[in-house]
Amino acid sequence: MRISLINGSPKVNNSASSMLLEDLAGCLGENAEIVDFGFHSPTISKEVVEELEKTEAWVFLCPLYVDSIPGHLLSCLIQLEEAHIHNPELHIYGIVNCGFYEGIQAEFALKLLQNWCLKTDFIWGGGIGVGGGGGLAMMPKLESGHGPRAPIEKGLAELADIILKKEVQKNKYVSVAFPRCLYKMAAQLGWRQMIKKNGGKVKDLRKTWE
Amino acid sequence: MKLIITDIENFNIPVRGEQKVIKPNGSIRHCIGCFGCWVKTPGRCVLHDGYEETGGDMGKCTELILVSRCCYGGVSPFVKMVQDRAISYIHPDFVMRKGEMHHKRRYKNIITLSLHLYGENITDIEKETARELLKANADNYDSLVKGVYFYKSVEELEDVVL
């Protein structure tokens, strides 16, 4: 089975989407031939569309931007709709990661992908909203079923199984197994470190433009 | 001030009162997820293409009016890219709101949000998504929802006063 894994993050490297993509690829294992695509800008080439057409399932992975999918990815989806690909057997899946703790905040980004499937006549196979995506890079990979990434790994393994069987699941929402208050503290500490590294002061974080 | 973000290049819909209209004018760059608008030039996007000050504009407005082609129950890529580039309206730190994590306010203004979507075949499912999406936006901006309105064409929109 040929499966397209589509990284819809604007970042070419080191994104939470690329980490989730690698983990999902690991879950799909040798049972699938994986074709990687990077939708990092608002346009996709004709060649990319042709390559996508040769696969049986597409999995979109992207960050949550203002309660939805990023604008550049939306632009790519419109191009794909306008390509008028006729494949009523094509299964579409989505994984949206949020900087917020609660995966449920990705609900409408997944809904948008689902609505896109209605327009394109593809099959919406379901997705996962991942909460706490901002911390994934800092969280160690431990033995399967353990550590803060465990709920996400479980969700990805279940989705991989669904994809391989060309089945459909309801959208699921997961969060990192890490206390929300500590996640919040760690993120806020991170912003302070970043602004200092850029030569600014902590108080600049609240700068306003009147 | 009413801030209007629209994908209509020849925007001539009447607007009552003081206004600023952000519409396509040359190409827009998409958000690159660098967080520079929070930790390099707080309050302003680091990409300089004429759309970098929307976060500040939002801090000065009383109403944010999105006028857009309906795309799967959301706004069009142009309007979404402007929204994505304006996250500096909010502060990077988190607060809990309605039991969920959201961003802290940077500005004190309470924005009233409205969404005007046009398109020939907007389905009931898309309409429902649009309503829910605007509510989610309001939670994130800590703002209020005025309403979501649907039109079959841009021409139909020209009969309204924003």
pLDDT tens figures, B94-110: 999 999 999 999 999 99
- Decide if B73 and A111 are in contact by the 8 Å CB cutoff: yes
Would residue B162 count as lying in a domain? no
A37/A76 same-domain check? yes
Cβ-nearest to A209 among B43, B93, B126: B43
**Nearest residue, CB atoms, A191 vs list B53, B71, B92:** B92
What percent of chain B has pLDDT above 70? 100
Q: How far is B30 from chain A (nearest CA, A)?
A: 6
Q: In this complex, which of A72, A195, A209 lies closest to B56 when CB atoms are compared?
A: A209
Distance CA B45, CA A166 (A): 42
B45 touches chain A (CB under 8 A): no
Contacts of B34 (CB under 8 A, 6+ apart): B40, B46
pLDDT confidence of residue A145: 76
- Same domain? A184 vs A85: no
Q: Does residue B18 form part of some domain? A: yes
**Taking the CB of residue B106, how many other CB atoms lie within 10 A of it?**
23
CB-based contact (8 Å) between B73 and chain A? yes
Q: What single-letter DSSP state applies at residue A206?
A: G
Give me the domain span that covers residue B61: 2-157
- Average pLDDT for B112-123: 97
Chain A (120-179) residues lying within 8 Å, Cβ to Cβ, of chain B = none
pLDDT for the residue numbered A139: 76
Element (H, E) at A173: strand A172-175
User: Residue A130 sits in a domain of what CATH number?
Assistant: 3.40.50.360
Asked whether residue A130 falls in the same domain as residue A65, the answer is yes
Residues in chain B with CB shorter than 8 Å from the CB of A210 are: 59-60
Amino acid identity, residue A49?
V
What CATH number does residue B18 fall under? 3.40.50
The minimal CB distance from B133 to the residues A67, A113, A118 is found for A67
**Do residues B111 and B83 make contact, with C-beta atoms less than 8 angstroms apart?**
no
SS3 A39: coil
Residue B113 lies in a domain: yes
pTM for the full model?
Answer: 0.96
Give the model's pLDDT for residue A141: 74
Q: Do residue A206 and residue A164 come from a single domain?
A: no
Nearest Cβ partner for B42 among A100, A184, A204: A204
**A65 to B80: CB separation less than 8 angstroms, yes or no:** yes
The per-residue pLDDT for B24 is: 97
Residue B118 has pLDDT above 80, yes or no: yes
Same domain, A61 and A132: yes
Burial of B146 (0-12, 13-18, 19+ CB in 10 A): middle
pLDDT in tens, B11-58: 999 999 999 999 999 899 999 999 999 999 999 999 999 999 999 999
Q: Which two tokens stand for residue B46?
A: 């680091």
Q: What is the pLDDT of residue A30?
A: 86
Give the total number of structural domains in chain B.
1
Same domain assignment for residues A44 and A140: yes
Q: Which of B46, B80, B96 to mutate to test the interface with A (most CBs of A within 10 A)?
A: B80
Residues of chain A numbered 25-64 and touching chain B (CB < 8 Å): 41-42, 63
Chain B CB contacts of A113 below 8 Å: 72
Predicted local distance difference test score (pLDDT) of residue A107: 97
pLDDT digits (tens, 9 = 90+) for B65-80: 999 999 999 999 999 9
User: Same domain, yes or no, for A169 and A196?
Assistant: no
CA nearest to B101 within chain A: A100
Of A7, A197, A44, which Cα lies nearest the Cα of B35?
A197
Q: Which residues in chain A are closer than 8 Å to B136, comparing Cβ atoms?
A: 67, 105, 107-108
Helix (H) or strand (E) holding A175: strand A172-175
| Structural domain count of chain A | 2
Compute the nearest-CA separation of B151 from chain A (Å): 19
| Residue range(s) defining the domain that contains residue A41 | 2-178
Restricting to A residues 67-96, those with a Cβ less than 8 Å away from any Cβ of B are 67-68, 70-72, 74-75, 77-78
Instruction: Clarify whether residues A48 and A101 are in a common domain.
Output: yes
pLDDT value at position A31?
83
Regions of chain A where pLDDT drops below 50: none
